Chains A and B, each alone.
Chain A
Amino acid sequence: MGRESSITRIVGPENYAKLQQFKCLIVGAGGIGSELLKDCILMGFGEIHIVDLDTIDLSNLNRQFLFRQKDIKQPKSTTAVKAVQHFSNSKLVPYQGNVMDTNQFPLHWFDQFDIFLNGLDNLAARRYVNKISQFLKKPLIESGTSGFDGYIQPILPGNTECFDCTKKETPKTFPVCTIRSTPSQPIHCIVWAKNFLFNQLFTSDQSSTTGDSDGNDWGTDDKEEIERIKQETNELHDLQQIVHHQDKVHITDILKKLFVKDIEKLLQLDNLWKSRAKPTPLTDDLIDSAKDGHDSTDLNAIWSLEEQISQFINVTEKLMDRIVEEDYNIEFDKDDQDTLVFVATAANIRSHIFGIPIKTVFDIKQIAGNIIPAIATTNAIVAGLSTLTALRLLNFLPYAKTNSGLDVNMAFTARASNLSKDRYLSNPKLAPPNCNCAVCAKVARGVVKITEKGLEKLTLSQLIDLLKKKYNYPSETSLIDTSDQRLLVDFDFEDLLDRTLSQAKLHDGSVILFSDEEGDESEMYRKPLEIYLDVVEESAINSEIELPALEIPLFTPPKQEEEDEGKETSTEESPEKEEDKNGIVILDEDEGKDEKDGTTTKRPRSPDQTENDSKRAKTSKNHNDENGVIELD
């Protein structure tokens, strides 16, 4: 039996004809993306567009079945499309680019699709596509895998929970002082080696390093310590010169500076070591004698300190050889062994100094590269479910009509480690939107069409007046650019009122948030309105600007306590994995997923632990800010 008759049997002839007119967008052409592409073709979508930013890497080939050895370094999206062309009856359009790039992919570009299918690997892009689907009110199927476990979450805007309705695992962050002065876990040293040291020595753009600019969370109020950290950064510029001049004889100077002098300076800050074990600096002699040591090549073995030092020297030499050719800019890449060994050895030497366990290169690769183990089978399972669910969301199954998005299921494969106790596939019904969700429920959304001229002419003040009038907002309001949370206007900041939109750096694709800051007599507020600025041709609209027809509801802001409710939870099986109050997040944490699949039981933090933590918060002056600053990407 051919493809057509098989699909017709599932969806019926009429729906099959419709399906052939439908356009879908696949975001990501990696593990899940290549599976989705194949499935959508075999299912008979009329047009399939696929976006990916990346190029193909050797470590993709164990699961991304459309790619071959010869395709390494080629763009994923176009290569994938070439590979499937021979069995496709659909029109296929590949793009190499970042889906979040509003120049390449403005909102009206997204508007051509009937459904979005995510095959993404990062939180930022997932959130972005979710937001786009909310703006356009179009269905999205979100999915992800980790090892043997996978999930799909269908999202029907306004009808079901959106991606952001449940708390997500956020990037792990650490206060600066934990990384730079007082590491206590391997991860702290790895972040130091990768985000700070490696960038300082080998990368030309250092804006993304551990940020010792003012305004960051230092995790400490100790002026002396902050001063030391800043000074240390400045001194590293000298070390960078050694690298740039390929001055191999002086590599030991780098070691002596980092692991002897800097540690000695740290030791002088008595405050740091009152309740902590002191670090033990290396000695110059040790460094000099380890220099010609034997090298271990086994990335799975724990190397001795001498081996770490000698490997550090070797790999720094290699990186020096590369740096001129590579335009004084080498970026850390988990699959680039030189950069990996550099980070691993530097982290391990630092660990040794601080009495922290040393790790193998293989293990550090996983931590530094944030590697999620991925296999083809789970991706296939998830993509298969995802495309089946697409039929359900589009209401193409005549024998199983979906009356509302809430009739659709999400799906989780059971953890392969405890299958005997669990169902293999659990598919809870979707929940309605979470009324506290800042993305889908707490704001109203609309697309404002504006011409290029409008951007040049219209002032912020005029825009605000238009919005107030059209949607009945009171006189006190505020306007924020959500891309960087930049305040444009509020009741005591009116400096920008007379700037035009383009002077205020608003452009095609800018998303601004307009909020009621006053409320009415009965303390009811207009919902905040999130606006997407869609720049269109002059012929497309009648005037310079066109506001969408929207009813903005009123609401009563919830009390603070309600919002905080239920935040303090931890998993019973893993006392190690709970979030530490001072912003140190242990790497293995996997809260986002656990929350939904319900396979792990959660309990409120036990009373003695809460007490314990609050006491600590009172006595400890350090790390009292919840927001860390160093992100492990």
Chain B
Amino acid sequence: MDRFDRQLRLWGGFGHELLTNGQICFIVERRDDPLLLEVQRHLLLAGISSYLVLHSDKQHTPAKDAFAFIDENQELQALNPEIKPQWNFLPWSRIQTQSFKDISVIVLINCRDAHMLQELSIRREHSINFPPVLVAAVNYPLAYMYLWLKEIHFVVTTNPEYVVPDLRINEPWDEVLQYTESLDFGKLREEELAEIPYPLILSSALRATSQDERPLHQKLDDFYLKYSQQALNDSNYRQAKRYARQVSRSSELGRQRVKQLLNRLQIYQRSNWHDSFNGKFMTLCQALGQFLDQYHQLPLPSEFPDMEAGTQIYNDLKMIYQKKAREDCETMEAIVARLGFPDFPRMLVKKFCDNINYWTLLEPIVNESSVPGIYSSTELTRYLNEQEVTISTHEKKLLENLLSLAEDSYDSHTLVSSFPATAFLGGAVAQEVVKLVTHQYVPIDNTFVYDLISDESSTIKL
């Protein structure tokens, strides 16, 4: 695993397994396309081993002095030999008969051939399920990508940079209450008080000062300093003061956020999913809805953060939290079983509960056009008209450029690689594929355009 050490720190064993089992379909004009090569090598390095390449039926003579910095046959294999990569090459004429059911993501690279697009769109329209399609091209002076979703895409965790631990301090359950009551601050010596973890200080303060209407951080000193003169020098109390502001809102905000996400899911009642992971996640969301109705709480995540405290009391408190987290997780499992999934993977329920504050979703577009939005002049014009007032001049210019490309009659020779824009976009596209396959981090929803001459970019939802 040492080879993957650095990336495991980003998406974990969970993400790595999804990558290992992932299958990517590339649709390209020609097999030596430099953007294909860039995306391909990144995905190999990330650990994806299975590829289907759909290429034009035309025979292309290899370009002289092209961008092929890696020999497509031998060297790609050697990039990551342990995963034993495999390729399957087929011409476009096979799109109609191709089943895409095992494909994680389709990446459409540097091709806008009208016939091929039509074939793909028809195939997609006639399928109940279809993988996400990522459209990417470098078309001088623009480099762009567009995500074309057929079904919801769930993100298990956005992996936020900063997190506020979810400790439910203002909504304590019985065990926490009993434990808090067992502590009599008045009888503890100063050094014993210096060992109390901050959640216990804050929950005691909340209960003892419930008549006082000031916010917690303003009344905390009045409550606590009478027990310990030294407290302002104690690291545990300093932590308590830092977190005092967040206590009153964090649980409610978490619930609100989750309720909004669940509401957005109301209209997607389906049992048939392309991505089995999305299907499982939908089940978890249904279970979560029932959990919320019943307990008016989210399941407690099992992570209990480090904090300034005495060993014994820290461990006691950690046990109480982890017990509750385990019970909540078991309750969720029971609900999932009642929904008809008795053998649901336990690991996934736990992962879901642990990230209960960090999951999110991307939705497909309801009235979509028959081709990917970025290639539809109708869609682009509609967006430009609707957003006319709000978009900046540079964004407007970018989109007009995009529109004129969409309106141009298509000729495969106008798609020119423009290094290093190709290198840049290759990295960005592979990154989006990794986000989609690992169901972690938030993919671009749904359009990114970069102008290599003006150095301007725009991220919009078409």
Contacts and interface: CB of A to CB of B under 8 A. Distances in A.
A415 B162 CA distance: 11
Given A62-B45, A185-B306, A573 B162 contact: yes
B355 to A, nearest CB: 12
Contacts of A184: 235, 308
A616 B232 contact: yes
A374 B6 contact: yes
Contact of B3 (A59, A357, A419, A612): A59
Contacts of B352: none
B420 A42 contact: yes
A620 B233 contact: yes
Given A417-B158, A573-B164, A1 B6 contact: no
A284 B78 CA distance: 53
Contacts of B80: 61
Interface string B59-71: 0000111111110
A87 B69 contact: yes
Contact of B311 (A35, A355, A409, A600): A355
B234 interface: yes
A518 B312 CA distance: 62
Given A38-B69, A58-B3, A357-B306, A1 B63 contact: yes
A466 to B, nearest CB: 46
Contacts of A35: 423
A375 B46 contact: yes
Interface string A408-420: 1100001111111
* Size band of the interface chain A makes with B: 35 or more
A68 B164 contact: no
A89 B242 CA distance: 59
A565 interface: no
A472 to B, nearest CB: 43
Given A377-B430, A573-B164, A357 B453 contact: no
A382 B428 CA distance: 10
A1 B66 CA distance: 7
B419 interface: yes
B9 A366 contact: yes
B357 interface: no
Given A380-B427, A417-B160, A3 B67 contact: yes
Interface in B269-327: 306, 308-312, 314
Contacts of B441: 148, 416-417, 419
Contact of A418 (B38, B158, B445): B158
A427 interface: yes
Query: Which of B9, B162, B435, B453 gathers the greatest number of chain A CB atoms within 10 Å?
Result: B162
A68 B441 CA distance: 29
Given A420-B445, A612-B232, A388 B421 contact: yes
Nearest to A381: B427
A494 interface: no
Interface in A547-575: 571, 573-575
A43 interface: yes
B462 to A, nearest CB: 14
A378 B431 contact: yes
A379 interface: yes
A38 B457 contact: no
Query: Which of A39, A63, A425 gathers the greatest number of chain B CB atoms within 10 Å?
Result: A425
Interface stretch (B126-134, B188-196, B328-336, B364-372): B188-196
Interface string B30-42: 0000000010011
A43 B418 CA distance: 9
B360 A384 contact: no
Nearest to A276: B194
Interface in B219-257: 230, 232-235, 238-239, 241-243
A10 B452 contact: yes
A500 B13 CA distance: 62
Interface in B419-457: 419-428, 430-431, 434-435, 441-445, 448, 450, 452-457
B413 interface: yes
B388 to A, nearest CB: 19
B419 A42 contact: yes
B10 A1 contact: no
Contacts of B417: 1, 6
A300 B435 CA distance: 23
Given A378-B427, A408-B455, 9 more contacts: A39-B420, A186-B306, A371-B6, A380-B423, A380-B430, A381-B431, A419-B445, A419-B459, A577-B162
Give me the 3 closest cross-chain CB pairs, A-B, nearest first. Answer: A384-B424, A380-B427, A355-B311
Interface of A: 1-4, 6-7, 9-10, 35, 38-39, 41-43, 58-59, 61-63, 65, 68-69, 84, 87, 89, 147-148, 184-186, 273-277, 280, 300, 335, 352, 355-357, 365-366, 371, 373-385, 387-389, 392, 397, 399-400, 408-409, 414-420, 422-425, 427, 571, 573-577, 590, 600, 608-609, 612, 615-616, 619-620
18 contacts: A6-B418, A39-B419, A62-B3, A62-B45, A62-B46, A374-B6, A375-B434, A376-B41, A377-B428, A380-B38, A380-B423, A384-B420, A400-B453, A409-B455, A424-B457, A427-B457, A573-B162, A590-B161
